[in-house]
Structure 1
Amino acid sequence: MHTYSLAEKILFPSVSLDNKRLGEELRGKTVLITGASSGIGKQLAYMLASIDVHLVLVARREDRLLAMKKNIEMKSAKVSVCRADMRNQTELKTILAFLEQLPNGLDVVVSNAGKSINRPIRESLSRYHDFTRTMDINYGAPVQLLLSAIPALEKNKGQIINVSTINALLIPIPHWAAYQASKTAFDTWFRSAAPELNAIGIATTSIYLPLVKTPMIVPTIAYEHAPAMAVEHAARIICRSMYTKKKYCKPWWLFFLELASVCFRWLFELLVPIALREKGKSDENH
């Protein structure tokens, strides 16, 4: 794990992980991880490599998945690779068909694949595809995947883990309309479906992560020096949720931001347009 600054140590306290409990919980089970070829998904797969578990890894980059399979199977886990762009219906249906053929079904689904996009509305006027593509990967695909997986998860009394973002619980911010709409849509769907899933024996966990140092944040220059959680830290949180079965995992400080989002929304909506106008004038002058 990369070295945390003082601020990051305060914001992201260390997470204890009981590897024995994790191993006992997952032994002999099948775990599906989407977005598995990089970032959090990749780190999570390697953290589970020493367990007698069947990992089904889904991502677009098959070469990376095959390299992971080779490395992970040198330990205890078995790996199945599913190359697919989950925005593509044909490829997504191939994954669903593969999952239906698993002899013991699914035990855990980690919905981790996602797309981030930071673009002002004025730059999106002729880019409607920004919204459809983001909605497809962040909302449509995971809903379709889970609808297909629910019967097997019900039979095995399994678990669904949604790797979400703190932004889904906070006031929306400019330039992130496509991303926030899609992530909030799936978060709302999942929380709405959770009581029904719990009633049939499927555990549900929503993990609200802050900014994480993954390749996905690299294009956003503003994040270069912002406090960010290490991918190893995020993966440990996911691993821990597999045996604690907590319904929600949030940063300790998120409550205060949620409260501020409610109490000071009017102030935010008043001041932010002013700040954006001033920034626009400044950019024109330069």
Structure 2
Amino acid sequence: MAAVRDQTVLVTGASHGIGEATARLLARCGAEVLLLARSGERLAEVAAGIRAAGGRASIYRLDLTDPTAVKAVAAQIEAHHPRIDAVISNAGHSIRRPILHSAGKDDLGRLLAVNFSGPAALLLALLPRMVAGGGGVIVSVSSASALPPGLPRWAAYQGSKAGFDLWLGSLGNELRGRGVRVSSVYLPLVRTRMIAPTRAYRFAPALTPLEAAQSVVYPLVNPVRRVAPWWLKGQQVAALLLPNTLDRALGGMEEMERRLTGRRKE
């Protein structure tokens, strides 16, 4: 509470799941939250709940895939809020689909817009105000799958998340000494509507949205560059030292899934 009380924190993707839980948690701790998402009606519901509990919330409807809208909303935010102390870049989308089925659906283009170019454009629009105002914190809500190895059927999602993660790290190094620090939060599975379409995840271990939100706000309290599950370092070491073994295992899993899918269709 001491770290965020009376701070202005912007949260993208705040209408559902992790973003909603993060906004509610921050508001309970005394922050003024700016809620951004595509769903205006749902944002209004979240904001009303925060205000009913004594918190402060403002809503801004925004489709991150629309560059013109990103600039317009950033200008509105700057006009109404003299300072942005933190940005939680949470909005994102995932698609699990075989690569040969995704080209005609433009999966890569869609996910790059939602997970990379849109969030980057919003940050670039807000950064001058943050630097001029003395700095702030940028938190990227990333995924453990943004790091190697490459998982079958997740190419567009992993590629877009990994690209934004590297872009943000470069941005953070450039802004060292200028008051703005960045942090990436690599979450494991979280029980939200985003993983619901993947049958294999229905019974897999997963965090609740509140548990995920507690990880997301950790960099606002402690100046860490990275928040991650304990096992993620092991995954990275294995990907570095045993790439062929991992690739064979993942390729075998994909082949097995193709066979099972074919049998179900028969």
TM-score by length of 1: 0.86
Of residues 133, 137, 140 in structure 2, which corresponds to 1:162?
A: 140
1:139-178 aligned at under 5 Å gives the runs 139-154=116-131, 155-178=133-156
CA spacing shift, 1:166–1:280, aligned 2, 3 Å: closer
Correspondence for 1:261: 239
CA spacing shift, 1:125–1:48, aligned 2, 3 Å: closer
How far apart in 2 are the matches of 1:198 and 1:230? Answer: 33
Of residues 200, 221, 241 in structure 2, which corresponds to 1:243?
A: 221
Structure 1 residue 78: deviation in Å?
Answer: 1.7
Correspondence for 1:205: 183
How far apart in 1 are the matches of 2:44 and 2:129? Answer: 26
Deviating more after overlay: 63-72 vs 179-188: 63-72
The answer for unaligned runs of 5 or more in structure 1 is 1-22
Correspondence for 2:93: 115
Task: Report if aligned partners of 2:152, 2:251 keep a CA contact under 8 Å in 1.
Answer: no
Correspondence for 1:26: 4
- The count of aligned residue pairs is 263
Paired AA for residue 150 in structure 1: L
Correspondence for 2:161: 183
CA spacing shift, 1:152–1:281, aligned 2, 3 Å: same
Structure 1 residue 70: deviation in Å?
Answer: 1.3
Structure 1 residue 102: deviation in Å?
Answer: 3.2
Structure number with greater CO (CA < 8 Å, separation at least 6) is: 1
Paired AA for residue 209 in structure 2: V
Whether 1:75 aligns to 2:66 is no
CA spacing shift, 1:276–1:242, aligned 2, 3 Å: closer
Of residues 90, 102, 107 in structure 2, which corresponds to 1:124?
A: 102
Of residues 24, 28, 37 in structure 2, which corresponds to 1:50?
A: 28
Task: Report if aligned partners of 1:106, 1:153 keep a CA contact under 8 Å in 2.
Answer: yes
Correspondence for 1:225: 203
Whether 1:134 aligns to 2:111 is yes
Task: Report if aligned partners of 1:99, 1:105 keep a CA contact under 8 Å in 2.
Answer: no
1:208-231 Cα deviation digits (max 9, x unpaired):
111111110001111011111111
TM-score by length of 2: 0.93
Structure 1 residue 271: deviation in Å?
Answer: 4.4
Structure 1 residue 283: deviation in Å?
Answer: 4.2
Structure 1 residue 282: deviation in Å?
Answer: 5.0
How far apart in 1 are the matches of 2:32 and 2:209? Answer: 22
How far apart in 2 are the matches of 1:240 and 1:268? Answer: 32
How far apart in 1 are the matches of 2:222 and 2:249? Answer: 42
Task: Report if aligned partners of 1:212, 1:228 keep a CA contact under 8 Å in 2.
Answer: yes
Correspondence for 1:5: none
How far apart in 2 are the matches of 1:142 and 1:284? Answer: 38
- Percent of residue pairs bearing the same amino acid type: 35
Of residues 99, 105, 111 in structure 1, which corresponds to 2:77?
A: 99
